[in-house]
């Protein structure tokens, strides 16, 4: 799948200069809070779900682009980058509310669909994760990358030459296709049409 094959082009547009921007504070996106509230029907499940989500954004900094954001954290001698496709979650809100599992389930499915594209050309020292931060899985992340601090300059070159212009648009396209498919399998044809609009 090429970036031009993306079901909704705006989901796949990535700034090639993303990691040259200054890091900024990133708060919990409203769409993620709404998903937790929608999925937590019982009071006893709301507090733990909300606490997990908020803890992933506590003091979070990173990089923001049209498709979503990348959270960056230092964990010991490592840098953890967590990629959250906010625009995909926003564009599927109505369909997900009626017919789909929560974002946390859909993000795990999307991660599995996107993994082959990521694994093709990772730089040495980088490892793909399911979006874990400090051992906790980020419930809305598409994937994470872990690298040693010493490997950051090589990663930045790779990101500008390969990840941002080629791989990330393909990963987002694959994720979008998997999420749309999961919603279509779970919902009615009417709901599936709304996801495409």
Strand partners, 64: 69
The pLDDT tens digits for 138-173 are: 778 999 999 988 788 889 899 999 999 989 998 999
* Mean pLDDT across 1-28: 71
Going by pLDDT thresholds of 50, 70 and 90, the confidence category of residue 187 is low
Q: Is the dihedral of CA 171, 143, 12, 110 positive or negative?
A: positive
Distances in whole angstroms, Cα of residue 126 to Cα of each of 39, 63, 154: 34, 19, 10
The pLDDT tens digits for 91-124 are: 888 888 776 688 888 988 888 888 888 888 888 8
What pLDDT score was predicted for residue 98? 75
Q: Which helix (H) or strand (E) holds 159?
A: none
Cα 113 from Cα 107, distance rounded (Å): 10
The pLDDT tens digits for 132-143 are: 444 456 778 999
The pLDDT tens digits for 18-73 are: 998 999 999 999 999 988 888 776 566 788 888 888 988 999 999 999 999 999 99
């Amino acid at each position: 799948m090429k970036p031009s094959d993306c079901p909704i082009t705006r989901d796949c547009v990535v700034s090639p200069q993303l990691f040259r921007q200054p890091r900024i504070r990133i708060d919990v996106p409203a769409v993620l809070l709404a998903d937790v509230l929608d999925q937590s029907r019982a009071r006893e499940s709301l507090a733990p779900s909300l606490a997990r989500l908020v803890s992933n954004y506590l003091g979070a900094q990173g990089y923001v682009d049209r498709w979503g954001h990348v959270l960056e954290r230092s964990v010991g001698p490592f840098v953890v980058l967590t990629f959250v496709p906010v625009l995909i979650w926003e564009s599927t809100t109505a369909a997900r509310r009626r017919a789909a599992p929560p974002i946390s389930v859909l993000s795990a499915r999307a991660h599995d669909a996107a993994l082959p594209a990521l694994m093709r050309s990772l730089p040495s020292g980088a490892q793909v994760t399911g979006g874990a931060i400090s051992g906790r899985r980020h419930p809305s992340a598409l994937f994470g990358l872990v690298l040693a601090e010493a490997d950051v300059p090589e990663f930045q070159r790779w990101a500008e030459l390969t990840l941002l212009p080629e791989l990330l648009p393909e990963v987002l396209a694959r994720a979008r296709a998997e999420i749309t498919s999961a919603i279509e399998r779970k919902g009615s044809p009417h709901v599936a049409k709304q996801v495409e609009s």
